[in-house]
Amino acid sequence: MTMTAPIQILPSPPYQTLTLELSESVTLVGRVQVPGDKSISHRALMLGAIAQGETRIHGLLLGEDPRSTALCFEAMGVEMSSLEQDWVTVQGIGLGQLQEPADVLNAGNSGTTLRLMLGLLAAHPQRFFTVTGDQSLRCRPMDRVIQPLTHMGANIWGRQGNRLAPLAVQGSRLQPIHYHSPVASAQVKSCILLAALMVDGATTVSEPSLSRDHSERMLRAFGANLQIDPESCSVTLEGPARLTGQTIVVPGDISSAAFWLVAAAITPGSDLVVENVGINPTRTGILEALQAMDADITLENPRQVTGEPVADLRVRYRPLQAAHFSGDLIPRMIDEIPILAIAAAFAEGTTVIQDASELRVKECDRITVMASQLACLGAAVEERPDGLAIRGQVPLQGAWVDSHGDHRVAMSLAIAALRVTGKTIIHRADAAAVSYPSFIPTLARLCALAAPPEPEA
Ligand code: S3P
């Protein structure tokens, strides 16, 4: 008897245009590991670079985004071992010691690289830096960090009234501030905290609701003096800091795990364990959202790994129900909303996601793009100024869809393809490499597929 693969994935890497077609339904069973957390990977590289002594990192994400961070800091004189090694070592050069790079620093697609790095660059007196990014990053708002840094005394210039990259930075001695951020953004908060490391006195940042707190946890581990007030969502850093190199084990990224959680939650018969996932409470909004939709998700083997909570996540298929999501939950699952929209398309009833206008300034406008791409597949979706309304259980048909160069959109559409009828062709699917380079091979493995065929010579 010949075994035919239940899913056809064409062509071979780098999957610029990916065709997915199921010949029979798949169930997702077994165990899967996800790559290292992207946010923690950036911070480990950056704090390692500016600390005294060596930092050792295990489980670093080898995606395009952390590679951009590594290249930027290497261009400023920081030595790192090959990122491909099991343990990556960063030789810290000490606070205030970044060298003036001979060329433009390129953050690629990575908002975290550009915004966090800007806080450090602005606080380096007598040094001049220019920074840019890819087409997507050059459209994303930088004024949200430039304004508070300017209040601290920074000199930063950019396109469109100091709003967009490319940016020029003339480093200077900064002053402490008390800043109320209008958005719950870990990138804004972290940018100011990194600048504050080199400032005399106490700098406070508060935000409307709590965004991810990886910077706070890691800064403390490296020796910074931080006071956190959860009541007012504020954090105060007393500078100047002394940072010492650390050993960091990066947990699996819950944002990457979310694709498998949803895949199993919408696929009858599935029973999947996603191993070693970071479950920092500022990131677990997606678990709460899926559980509110009646998904069967349990946490197994909870543990602490270098200051971050970690667990294995087991998901068993059970029909999903629609739910409404808004308020403080949104920043705690901001990167998972594209895949949550896919879950909503398979739930009974109408799911509403609101207070999520931040999605419009991510790697693409994720509200418009998810609405248009779900509509291409035949979903009943309404685009709203601050979110989406999705009526679930409308039968979906394979179609030609486009990630718009956004890694999370590409992977969300690939998961949807598991439950549509016919062929789904995803344009610009290679964007997945930004945060999850092994996503397509893992999808193929989980669908019990032999390696995708080689292209014909
Ligand atoms: C990140 C913060 C979030 C998130 C991004 C990573 C970080 O952005 O969307 O993918 O590592 O600090 P905002 O802080 O702008 O919401």
pLDDT computed for residue 94 by the predictor: 98
pLDDT computed for residue 110 by the predictor: 98
Ligand 1 atom with the smallest distance to the CA of 255 is 10
For residues 79 and 54, is the Cβ–Cβ distance under 8 A?
no
Ligand 1 atom with the smallest distance to the CA of 215 is 12
By alpha-carbon position, which residue is closest to atom 13 of ligand 1?
185
Give the tokens for residue 203.
């700098």
CB of 190 within 6 A of ligand 1: the answer is yes
By alpha-carbon position, which residue is closest to atom 16 of ligand 1?
185
d(CA 163, CA 206): 22
Ligand 1 atom with the smallest distance to the CA of 331 is 16
Fold match, 7-36+251-446 / 38-249: yes
Q: What percent of the chain has pLDDT over 90?
A: 91
CB of 246 within 6 A of ligand 1: the answer is no
CB of 330 within 6 A of ligand 1: the answer is no
Average pLDDT over residues 296-325: 97
Q: What percent of the chain has pLDDT over 70?
A: 95
Give the distance (Å) from ligand 1 centre to CA of residue 211: 8
CB of 403 within 6 A of ligand 1: the answer is no
Give the distance (Å) from ligand 1 centre to CA of residue 149: 18
Give the tokens for residue 319.
């029909």
Give the residue, out of 40, 145, 183, 185, with the most ligand 1 atoms within 8 A of its beta carbon, to mutate for a pocket test. Answer: 185
**Secondary structure, 3-state, the chain:** CCCCCCEEEECCCCCCEEEEEECCCCCCEEEEECCECHHHHHHHHHHHHHCEEEEEEECCCCCHHHHHHHHHHHHCCCEECCCCCCEEEEEEECCCCCCCCCCCEECCCCHHHHHHHHHHHHCCCCCEEEEECCCCHHHCCCHHHHHHHHHCCCEEEEHHHHCEEEEEEECCCCCCCEEECCCCCHHHHHHHHHHHCCCCEEEEEECCCCCCCHHHHHHHHHCCEEEEECCCCEEEEEECCCCECCEEECCECHHHHHHHHHHHHCCCCCEEEEEEEECCCCCCHHHHHHHHCCCEEEEEEEEEECCEEEEEEEEECCCCECCEECHHHHHHHHHHHHHHHHHHHCCECEEEECCCHHHHHCCCCHHHHHHHHHHHCCCEEEEECCEEEEECCCCCECCEEECCCCHHHHHHHHHHHHHCECEEEEECHHHHHHCCCCHHHHHHHHCCCCCCCCCCC
CB of 185 within 6 A of ligand 1: the answer is yes
CB of 211 within 6 A of ligand 1: the answer is yes
Is the pLDDT assigned to residue 101 strictly greater than 60?
yes
What interhelical angle do 143-151 and 111-122 show, nearest 10?
10
CB of 336 within 6 A of ligand 1: the answer is no
Residue with tokens 């239940």: 6
Average pLDDT over residues 276-303: 98
How many angstroms separate the first and last alpha carbons of the chain?
A: 29
- Catalytic residue among 37, 335, 402, 430, which? 335
Q: Is 335 an annotated catalytic residue?
A: yes
What tens digit of pLDDT does each residue of 222-270 get?
Answer: 999 999 999 999 999 999 999 999 999 999 999 999 999 999 999 999 9
Give the distance (Å) from ligand 1 centre to CA of residue 378: 30
Average pLDDT over residues 388-408: 97
Q: Give the domain ranges of the chain.
A: 7-36+251-446, 38-249
d(CA 22, CA 398): 10
Is the pLDDT assigned to residue 453 strictly greater than 70?
no
- Tell me the pairing of strands 52-58 and 247-249: parallel
For residues 432 and 412, is the Cβ–Cβ distance under 8 A?
no
Give the tokens for residue 365.
């406008």
Question: Per-residue confidence at 18, pLDDT binned at 50, 70, 90?
Answer: confident
Give the residue, out of 334, 407, 435, with the most ligand 1 atoms within 8 A of its beta carbon, to mutate for a pocket test. Answer: 334
Ligand 1 atom with the smallest distance to the CA of 362 is 9
Residue of 433, 441, 444, 443 lying closest to 38 (CA atoms)? 433
Average pLDDT over residues 363-373: 98
1-10, 12-21, 79-88: the lowest-pLDDT one: 1-10
Q: What's the CATH architecture for 38-249?
A: Alpha-beta prism (3.65)
CA–CA distances in Å: residue 313 to residues 254, 260, 302, 450: 10, 10, 9, 26
What tens digit of pLDDT does each residue of 122-148 get?
Answer: 999 999 999 999 999 999 999 999 999
d(CA 370, CA 402): 10
pTM over 0.85: yes
Give the tokens for residue 183.
């958005």
Q: What's the CATH architecture for 7-36+251-446?
A: Alpha-beta prism (3.65)
pLDDT computed for residue 22 by the predictor: 80
Give the distance (Å) from ligand 1 centre to CA of residue 403: 19
Residue of 304, 308, 252 lying closest to 275 (CA atoms)? 252
d(CA 452, CA 431): 18
Give the distance (Å) from ligand 1 centre to CA of residue 285: 14
What tens digit of pLDDT does each residue of 46-70 get?
Answer: 999 999 999 999 999 999 999 999 9
Is the pLDDT assigned to residue 299 strictly greater than 70?
yes
